[in-house]
Amino acid sequence: MALLRTLPLAAVIGLALAAPAAAADQTVDVVDFEFNPPTVQIDPGDTVTWTFTGPTDHTATSSRSERFVRFDSDLKGPGQTYQRTFDEPGRFNYICTPHPFMRGVVQVGADTVSRTLSSRGVRGGRRSVKYSVRVLEDAVYTWKLRGPARRTVKGTLRTGNRSISVRRLPPGRYRGVFTAVDAFDKKLTTRQSFSVRG
């Protein structure tokens, strides 16, 4: 309390606002035509309950671009509910399928990892290339290769030391652009340059 007593009132209010709201199970009202509140913050393991108060039928459905966590309440009418427990941290966007202008976000936990992954080197081989990364947070990636051939590979990376190999490449000089996006929509891009032997 000694610290608080010496602070001006505005500073005390600022501290109170900056403190994260105690996350817990949350409820979202689905009304015509919005999710209320549009964004909920929960901790991993907490449950969100959508309460459909219509009178129009709606859904709570993960956005098509959402690749980490998918869910779909199916059409629900007045008085119905849908529940989902979120274990994986991340920022998950959802919509109502018949009314895609209705948008909501479930934020689970906080993005505590500042750098999603670090590059451990690219190595061109015989008609192939291997890109090694150390992954600190699950991510989806796209790797675009440009040179004597054009290739784009996509996939998911889980935490740990990982490598991505592309085979059957014509020999020559290539450039690569690697993009990783974590569950909080944080994007990281690295560029490579390498030679492929025949």
Interface contacts to Cu ion, rule CB under 5 A:
58, 96, 99, 102
**Residue pair 4/12 in contact by the 8 Å Cβ criterion:** yes
Supply the minimum distance, in Å, between the C-beta of residue 40 and Cu ion: 17
User: Which CB sits closer to Cu ion, 78 or 148?
Assistant: 78
User: Which CB sits closer to Cu ion, 95 or 196?
Assistant: 95
Residues 6+ apart with CB under 8 A from 176: 122, 129, 131, 143, 144, 145, 146, 191, 192, 193, 194
Supply the minimum distance, in Å, between the C-beta of residue 101 and Cu ion: 9
Supply the minimum distance, in Å, between the C-beta of residue 34 and Cu ion: 9
Supply the minimum distance, in Å, between the C-beta of residue 32 and Cu ion: 8
User: Which CB sits closer to Cu ion, 31 or 140?
Assistant: 31
Q: Is the Cα dihedral 4, 8, 10, 11 positive or negative? A: negative
User: Which CB sits closer to Cu ion, 97 or 179?
Assistant: 97
User: Which CB sits closer to Cu ion, 44 or 77?
Assistant: 77
Q: Report the distance separating Cα 125 and Cα 121, nearest Å.
A: 13
- Helix H, strand E, coil C: the string for 70-124 is CCECCCECCCCEEEEEECCCEEEEEECCCCCCCEEEEEECCCCCCCCEEEEEEEE
Supply the minimum distance, in Å, between the C-beta of residue 74 and Cu ion: 12
Helices and strands (DSSP H and E) totals, the chain: 2, 15
* Bond before 55 cis per omega within 30 degrees: yes
